[in-house]
């Protein structure tokens, strides 16, 4: 299955729309967001595909985020997500605390560890674990990026938003 990954959208509506358009074109089966949507008004942008996400350090009204995600059939997993997608065991964590991110990558319990927070795309292997940071969907005046995970091949491709 193809999984769309984004993080740190920080209320950037045009880039988030573009990310979702890419995910729709690629026919992803699930979108995972590693936090920092920021405002609940971002949630309707995710309504076109199955969606799960975690909270980031800049996310505001948690109650309203949960309510809005429930309205579109999405799910907010709290601060940490432990999920299996198409046989691939995934940890989803914003990455606010680098030692926690590193521990998740090094523990050997996950096939893939997805984090955000740093706004820098990253892909490396830690033993049998693939560590992925899609970068920032916002861009902040630099490169705005998202990622595609193929759960069968255990590969990741990055896409740049304009």
pLDDT of residue 60: 87
pLDDT of residue 141: 87
Residue 88: which of 7, 2, 6 has the closest Cα? 2
pLDDT of residue 113: 98
Q: What is the pTM of this model?
A: 0.98
Residue 144: which of 34, 9, 21 has the closest Cα? 9
Query: What is the SS3 assignment for the chain?
Result: CEEEEECCCCCCHHHHHHHHHHHHHCCCCEEEECCCCCCHHHHHHHCCCCEEECCCCCCCCHHHHHHHHHHCCCEECCCEEEEEECCEEEEEECCCCHHHHHHHHHCCCCCEEECCCCCCEEEEEECCEEEEEECCCCCCCCCEEEEEEECCCCEEEEEEEC
pLDDT of residue 142: 92
Range 2-161: architecture per CATH: 4-Layer Sandwich (3.60)
Q: Domain coordinates of the chain in residue numbers?
A: 2-161
pLDDT of residue 42: 97
Place of tokens 């969606």: 51
Taking the chain (162 residues) in runs of 10, the rounded mean pLDDT of each run is 98 98 98 97 97 96 95 97 97 98 98 98 97 98 96 97 94
């Amino acid at each position: 299955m193809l999984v769309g990954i984004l993080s740190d959208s920080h209320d950037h509506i045009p880039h988030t729309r573009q990310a979702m358009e890419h995910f729709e074109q690629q026919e992803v089966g699930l979108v995972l967001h590693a936090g920092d949507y920021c405002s609940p008004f971002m949630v309707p942008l995710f309504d076109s595909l199955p969606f799960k996400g975690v909270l980031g350090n800049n996310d505001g009204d948690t109650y309203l985020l949960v309510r809005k995600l429930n309205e579109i059939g999405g799910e907010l997993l709290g601060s940490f997500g432990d999920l299996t997608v198409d046989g691939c065991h995934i940890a989803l964590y914003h990455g606010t605390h680098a030692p926690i991110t590193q521990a998740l990558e090094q523990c050997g319990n996950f096939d893939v560890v997805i984090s955000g927070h740093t706004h820098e795309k990253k892909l490396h292997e830690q033993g049998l674990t693939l560590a992925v940071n899609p970068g920032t969907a916002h861009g902040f005046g630099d490169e705005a990026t998202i990622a595609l995970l193929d759960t069968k091949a255990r590969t990741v491709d990055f896409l740049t938003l304009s």
